[in-house]
Amino acid sequence: MVEVGAKPETAREAVAVGSLRISPTAVTALQRGQLPKGDPLVVARIAGIQAAKRTADLIPLCHPLALTGIEVDVSLDEPAGVIRARATVRLTGRTGVEMEALTAVSVALLTAYDMLKAVDREMVLEDIRLVRKTGGRSGTWEARDSGT
């Protein structure tokens, strides 16, 4: 692990996004509540929050962090046939929370995939990426096409 003990504590935040392309059949099943495992949007949100908290257990050499805030939004973009996930993770600390935000989005979308696979085997995870981070030595960074 990288030594961060000498770094000053700063308020840090990271925002990640991603999507899961689904079929019209899956969109309909989701809208009608006809999925055997329940509502994937609700369960995916909880899974994303849990994943952010467990990132150090999943990604080698990540520091375990005392996160102060996690927001995960999972929604259906019906016309596009896409489930979108967005995670915002915060802490005051010596290292960033980019991996936690990316992990939250990834696990949220994987959870939705798992819950929809009975009706759609051709789903595609897309565009999982960091769109914004603040704090630390490098300050604020935002993706050019972040849409935030």
Write out the catalytic residue numbers: 114
Which contiguous run of DSSP H or E holds residue 100?
helix 98-116
Q: At residue 92, what are phi and psi to the nearest 5 degrees?
A: -110, 115
Written as six digits, the tokens of 92 are: 């005051």
3-state secondary structure of 68: coil
Which contiguous run of DSSP H or E holds residue 113?
helix 98-116
- Alpha-carbon distance of 81 to 57, in angstroms, equals 33
DSSP state of 66: -
Q: Is the separation of the CB atoms in 108 and 85 below 8 Å?
A: yes
Inter-axis angle of helices 98-116 and 24-32, nearest 10: 90
